[in-house]
Amino acid sequence: MKSRLSRGLVFTALSLVGVSTVYPLIFMALNSMRTAQAFEVNPFALPTHWSLSSYSALFSQVPFLQSILHSLFVVVPAVILATFASSLAAFVFTKVPIKLGNVLFWTMLMIMFMPGIVVLLPLYVEVARTGLANNFAPAILIYTAINIPYGTYLLRSNFRAIPNSVVEAARVDGASWIKVYWRVILPIGKPGMITVGILTFLNIWNDLFISLVLLHAPNTEMVTPTLAQLSGKFTSDIPVLMAGLLLGALPTLLLYAVTARVFIRGMLSGAVR
Amino acid sequence: MSNEDDVPSLDEPERIRKRRNVFSYVALLPAAVLVLGLMVLPIGETMYHSFTNWDGVTSKFIGLTNFNLIFHDAIIRQVFVNSLIFLISVPLILAASLVTAVLVYEKVLGWRVFRFLFFIPMVLSPVIVGVLFSTFFLPGGAVDQILKPLGLGNFSWLGNPWAARWVVILALVWASFGFGMVVILSAMATVDVALYDAAAIDGASWWRRLRSITIPMISGSLQFLSVINVIYTFTSLFAFVFVITAGGPGFATTTVDYYTYITTFENGQFGYGAALALLLFLIVLTLTIAQVKLFPNREVQQGS
């Protein structure tokens, strides 16, 4: 692959794939600023006069910004709880092994890819019976629990890379296990934990199923169910739909753009397997 | 399995060992309580209720009736066939991941930018990807507009069983190849560059090096991706199906989890839904065990 021609071909191929991943965002952005009639005529044209009326239509007809807040309200605590609980568990699994720990680790491994519906059937009934339907607390805890197995699994392989000698040295110096976790594992494992935190954020923010089932009242609805129902409401007004999709994607896109360096490096270091 | 990690030596004082145990249990507590209480216990409850006629409030033990009904339900057969059809996406995702990874690995001008861009679908919700793709394929929508010059009229993409399935598959492949690319790239990073240099000196062509060095060296990752994506086809299509086709036309794109959702949350048949969920769980569990058994040395492979 040294020749200029072949490198040009590779570049062209990459560009085509790149267009396919970016163009949908541009499509959403451009069409969100056009009128429904203009879209009908040609979905690919540029806006002739830029208008933000789709956005005001979106905000006036759907509690869209509230749904973003609801999502943040659930996702942020769940991400912190899940990452923290996973890192503690992963620390025990790798550096302070105990008998019962292995049982728990294998349990997590077995249910890591479990479809959410298996647990959500009884949990939904339980939540409804205890009068906690449309309450954020159960949703936060369930999202936390569901994300712990994968987080623990990833952090376990991450913490394994931290040499035992480092832990031993700290122990010999008289550091308690809590101190080892706080002063040794967390600083060294920080990139891995950030990657796991971002993945957990994406998982929960982007999930439809649990939010749809647990938080269906208008005053608790998260952003994904709101978006899912938009397509039914605005089939004839695509620009409003595009405005909603773009705004719904913005938080994760921003998170990705801001953390891309650490995130990509974390993913490439084999953190995802 | 992690004996080599057993840091404290055998001759440590009893007092310290005890303290280590206290710490371990306290540290495991948050994860253990949440996972046992909100996952393991509910799985048990779902198992139990799969043998009842649960309606969400009352339930009576009815033995294997639910499973008997499931095996004689023509829709369920269709739903499982759909899942098998959606497996078409797995080789497509693998191919797309491999091609993009290999191209990015060439490190041509702007390769970091491309890598950044290829991740974008991965951070978008299946809801957003799904709604977007469904608007592309609306009658008279973007795709029809592109095809118009070719003399093709408006086609009801989402009204045709096979076309609708392909739209779902397309959305799934687009949303998933970024993850596959990362896994493959991280595997390729562990391949010794000297191997390529030696092969180049021996006059091996680029294709030859790809076939004889790269692919064998990353075969573990490719197998891992296959199993993971098979699992995803069974467990993660809910959102795509919900927003693109709502399971239609008819039941042509209904997946097991979507059908379970309908039977329980829309029709209130919780016992029947529990039995379906249990079947899905067993399928995924089998695949997970296969994954663990097939690749016991994952951590070793990925180096440190």
CB contact at 8 A, A159 and A86: no
For the record, the structure tokens of B152 come out as 């093709």
Specify the pLDDT at position A163: 87
B233 contacts chain A (CB < 8 A): no
Place of tokens 């692959």: A1
CB contact at 8 A, A6 and B207: no
Specify the pLDDT at position A144: 96
Specify the pLDDT at position B121: 93
Which structural domains are found in chain B, ordered by start? 3-49 (no CATH), 74-301 (1.10.3720.10)
CB contact at 8 A, B227 and B287: yes
Among A113, A141, A171, most B C-beta atoms within 10 A, so best to mutate, is: A113
Q: What is the mean pLDDT of residues A4-11?
A: 85
Place of tokens 């019962």: A100
DSSP secondary-structure letter at B253?
T
Q: Assess whether pLDDT exceeds 50 at residue A146.
A: yes
Specify the pLDDT at position B3: 44
- What are the residue ranges in chain B where pLDDT is below 50? 1-10, 298-304
CA distance A188 to chain B (A): 13
| Chain A hits for B243, Cβ within 8 Å | 208, 228, 231
Across the interface, of B27, B35, B140, the residue whose CB is closest to A148 is B35
DSSP secondary-structure letter at B39?
I
Q: Which fold has domain A13-271?
A: MetI-like fold (1.10.3720)
CA distance A68 to chain B (A): 14
More confident residue, A51 or B284: B284
Specify the pLDDT at position B296: 58
Specify the pLDDT at position B20: 61
| Chain B hits for A230, Cβ within 8 Å | 131
Q: What is the mean pLDDT of residues A4-30?
A: 89
Specify the pLDDT at position A2: 61
8 Å CB contact of A264 and B119 = yes
**Model confidence over B123-159: pLDDT tens digits?**
999 999 999 998 888 877 788 778 877 877 677 888 8
Angle between helices A64-95 and A186-206 (to 10 degrees): 140
**What residues of chain A, 233 to 272, have a C-beta less than 8 Å from chain B?**
235, 238, 241-242, 245, 248-249, 252-253, 255-256, 260, 264, 267-270, 272
Place of tokens 């040609």: A42
A103 contacts chain B (CB < 8 A): no
Rounded to whole angstroms, the Cα distance separating A88 from A241 reads: 42
More confident residue, B172 or A33: B172
Mean of the per-residue pLDDT values for chain A? 87
**What residues of chain A, 53 to 72, have a C-beta less than 8 Å from chain B?**
none
User: Residue A125: CB partners within 8 Å, gap ≥ 6?
Assistant: B56, B270
8 Å CB contact of A260 and B42 = no
**Model confidence over A96-145: pLDDT tens digits?**
877 777 788 888 888 888 888 999 999 998 898 888 888 899 999 999 99
Across the interface, of B24, B114, B182, the residue whose CB is closest to A92 is B24
Rounded to whole angstroms, the Cα distance separating B286 from B297 reads: 19
User: Residue A26: CB partners within 8 Å, gap ≥ 6?
Assistant: none
**What residues of chain B, 78 to 137, have a C-beta less than 8 Å from chain A?**
99-100, 103-104, 106, 108-111, 113-128, 131-132, 134-135
CA distance A151 to chain B (A): 10
Longest Cα pair distance anywhere in chain A, in angstroms? 74
Q: Amino acid identity, residue A74?
A: V
Nearest alpha-carbon partner for B133 in B125, A120, B45, B303: B125
Specify the pLDDT at position B304: 30
DSSP secondary-structure letter at A222?
-
Handedness of CA B77, B79, B81, B83 (dihedral sign): negative
**Model confidence over A171-230: pLDDT tens digits?**
888 888 888 889 888 898 888 899 999 999 999 999 999 999 999 888 889 999 999 988
| Chain B hits for A107, Cβ within 8 Å | 35-36, 40
Lowest mean pLDDT among A21-35, A70-84, B19-33, B241-255: B19-33
Domain limits, chain A: 13-271
| Chain B hits for A95, Cβ within 8 Å | 5, 7
Across the interface, of A93, A125, A242, the residue whose CB is closest to B56 is A125
A125 contacts chain B (CB < 8 A): yes
B8 contacts chain A (CB < 8 A): yes
Rounded to whole angstroms, the Cα distance separating A12 from A63 reads: 43
CA distance B256 to chain A (A): 10
Among B15, B66, B127, most A C-beta atoms within 10 A, so best to mutate, is: B127
CB contact at 8 A, B260 and A117: yes
| Chain B hits for A97, Cβ within 8 Å | 2-3, 5-6
Rounded to two decimals, the ipTM of the complex is 0.91
**Model confidence over A218-246: pLDDT tens digits?**
888 999 999 998 877 777 788 888 999 99
Place of tokens 């832990």: A167
Place of tokens 């095809």: B147
Rounded to whole angstroms, the Cα distance separating B140 from A40 reads: 8
**Exposed/middle/buried for residue A75 (C-beta within 10 Å: 0-12, 13-18, 19+):** buried
